[in-house]
């Protein structure tokens, strides 16, 4: 008899514990289902179990989507971007002991969209049997605010996503009597922001003062048709110099380049425009690169030198230059300012005070330059 009594008490205590805490960890944790009123849930809400209006009057669930780490509400979402989600459960009378909630993010058919992660301590993320991720309370929460992150999907086509949420204000008496649950889903729909091309980089490089190498790369492309490369000498008025066909639709990195052989002296500006298959354009940043005016060492003699060395220099313009001679230790042993005019200019350098050895002569004005080696005996 004693043994039967012991088992009976144990059964009653276990059953009571389940009644008190069975959904305390969230209904999805226990049953694998959500009750948010989303498509595929047959309109089941928190009010189906928790009384309505109940002791706490009408209960509502408010969903907000913020740019990550900010207080800026998001109206559209970008592929692969992380957002902060906040659900607030509101009631209008009395003071509940605690709050519970559930929330899903699905498309019009009820299919899961994106990923839930990093819930606040009073929340958790559970994946249901149908593959839909469910954010819900992790235990009876004294706070009516629940937070977590949503990572938008990486897509090629636009997908609108709706967040459905429900909640309850409860008295924690071990049953649903006296509780209040939402009779309507709290919803918010956010539209995907289609960016035809996600640009990684766009650069221009002077290759040996011979041509300019224009390079760019994309992380993703959606409905892209072609790129227009434009050139300018003042950064204001641009002229198209090339049309480059885009891959079109891809989630993989694509690299492009174009060689411009007609760069002019001074600053050259380059601009990139993407045109999609609907004719819409996307303008990217402007970059610039400098084309040096030609400065050429025609002749350096005698080799090796003893007391003097002669240089013949051709320049296509005129102006002042800095002339320096550096030893192998990198120390400047001779420095002067020289004026070079258009055409061929001849200079004689006095090396009589220098020790025998190898030296480097450099002539530069910051825009054009050359270097050469001098051997002195």
Looking at residues 164-182, what average pLDDT do you find? 90
Domain 295-376 maps to which CATH number in 3.30.70.20, 2.60.40.2550, 3.40.50.1220, 2.60.40.10? 2.60.40.2550
Among positive and negative, which fits the CA dihedral 134, 94, 179, 10? positive
pLDDT at 234: 93
Helix (H) or strand (E) holding 108: none
Q: How confident is the model at residue 8 (pLDDT cuts 50, 70, 90)?
A: very low
Contact 59, 181 (CB under 8 A): yes
Among positive and negative, which fits the CA dihedral 170, 176, 177, 183? positive
Chain CA centroid to CA 99, Å? 36
Taking 80 as the threshold, does the pLDDT of residue 7 lie above it? Answer: no
Looking at residues 19-34, what average pLDDT do you find? 73
Chain CA centroid to CA 306, Å? 62
Which phi and psi (to 5°) does residue 263 adopt? -60, 145
pLDDT at 43: 85
C-alpha neighbours within 13 Å on the C-beta side of residue 132: 28
In tens, the pLDDT along 240-298 reads 999 999 999 888 899 999 999 999 988 899 999 999 988 889 899 899 998 877 888 88
Looking at residues 295-302, what average pLDDT do you find? 90
pLDDT at 9: 32
pLDDT at 298: 86
Taking 90 as the threshold, does the pLDDT of residue 150 lie above it? Answer: yes
User: What stretch(es) of the chain map to CATH 2.60.40.10?
Assistant: 197-291
- Specify the CATH superfamily of domain 197-291: Immunoglobulins (2.60.40.10)
Q: Which residue has the higher pLDDT, 187 or 5?
A: 187
pLDDT at 20: 31
Which phi and psi (to 5°) does residue 298 adopt? -80, -45
Comparing 6-15, 155-164, 229-238, the range with the smallest average pLDDT is 6-15
pLDDT at 174: 79
Taking 90 as the threshold, does the pLDDT of residue 307 lie above it? Answer: yes
Taking 80 as the threshold, does the pLDDT of residue 23 lie above it? Answer: no
In tens, the pLDDT along 50-98 reads 876 689 999 999 999 999 999 999 989 987 899 999 999 999 999 999 9
Residue 68 CB partners (closer than 8 Å, separation 6+): 81, 82, 83, 84, 149
Taking 90 as the threshold, does the pLDDT of residue 317 lie above it? Answer: no
pLDDT at 22: 44
Looking at residues 126-143, what average pLDDT do you find? 94
Contact 244, 275 (CB under 8 A): no
- Helix residue spans in 1-112 (DSSP H): 2-21, 27-31
Q: How confident is the model at residue 156 (pLDDT cuts 50, 70, 90)?
A: low
From the list 131, 80, 122, 73, the residue with the least C-alpha distance to 101 is: 122
In tens, the pLDDT along 361-375 reads 999 998 888 899 999
Does the domain made of 2-192 have the CATH classification 2.60.40.680?
yes
User: What stretch(es) of the chain map to CATH 2.60.40.680?
Assistant: 2-192
Taking 90 as the threshold, does the pLDDT of residue 194 lie above it? Answer: no
pLDDT at 1: 33
User: What stretch(es) of the chain map to CATH 2.60.40.2550?
Assistant: 295-376
pLDDT at 169: 95
């Amino acid at each position: 008899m004693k043994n039967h009594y012991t088992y009976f008490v144990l059964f009653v205590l276990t059953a009571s514990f389940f009644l008190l805490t069975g959904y305390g960890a969230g209904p999805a944790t226990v049953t694998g289902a959500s009750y948010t009123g989303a498509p595929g849930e047959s309109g089941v809400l928190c009010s189906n179990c928790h009384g309505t209006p109940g002791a706490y009057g009408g209960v509502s669930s408010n969903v907000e989507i913020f740019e990550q780490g900010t207080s800026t509400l998001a109206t559209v979402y970008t592929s692969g971007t992380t957002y902060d989600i906040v659900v607030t459960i509101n009631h209008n009378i009395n003071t509940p002991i605690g709050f519970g909630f559930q929330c899903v993010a699905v498309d019009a058919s009820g299919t899961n969209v994106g990923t839930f992660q990093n819930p606040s301590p009073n929340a958790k993320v559970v994946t249901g049997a149908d593959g839909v991720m469910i954010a819900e309370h992790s235990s009876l929460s004294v706070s009516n605010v629940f937070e977590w992150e949503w990572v938008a999907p990486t897509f090629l086509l636009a997908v609108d996503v709706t967040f459905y949420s429900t909640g309850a204000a409860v008295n924690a008496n071990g049953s649903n009597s006296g509780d209040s649950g939402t009779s309507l889903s709290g919803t918010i729909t956010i539209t995907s922001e289609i960016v035809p091309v996600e640009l990684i980089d766009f650069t221009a490089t002077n290759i040996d003062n011979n041509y300019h190498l224009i390079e760019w790369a994309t992380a993703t492309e959606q409905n892209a048709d072609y790129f227009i490369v434009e050139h300018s000498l003042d950064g204001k008025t641009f002229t198209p110099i090339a049309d480059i066909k885009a891959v079109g639709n891809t989630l993989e990195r694509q690299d492009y380049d174009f060689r411009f052989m007609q760069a002019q002296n001074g600053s050259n500006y380059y601009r990139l425009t993407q045109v999609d298959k609907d004719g819409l354009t996307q303008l990217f940043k402007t970059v610039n690169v400098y084309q040096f005016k030609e400065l050429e060492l025609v002749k350096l003699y005698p080799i090796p030198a003893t007391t003097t060395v002669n240089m013949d220099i051709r320049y296509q313009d005129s102006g002042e230059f800095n002339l320096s001679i550096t030893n192998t230790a990198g120390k400047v042993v001779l420095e002067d300012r020289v004026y070079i005019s258009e055409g061929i200019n001849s200079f004689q350098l006095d090396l009589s005070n220098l020790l025998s050895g190898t030296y480097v002569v450099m002539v530069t004005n910051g825009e054009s330059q050359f270097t050469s080696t001098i051997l002195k005996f």
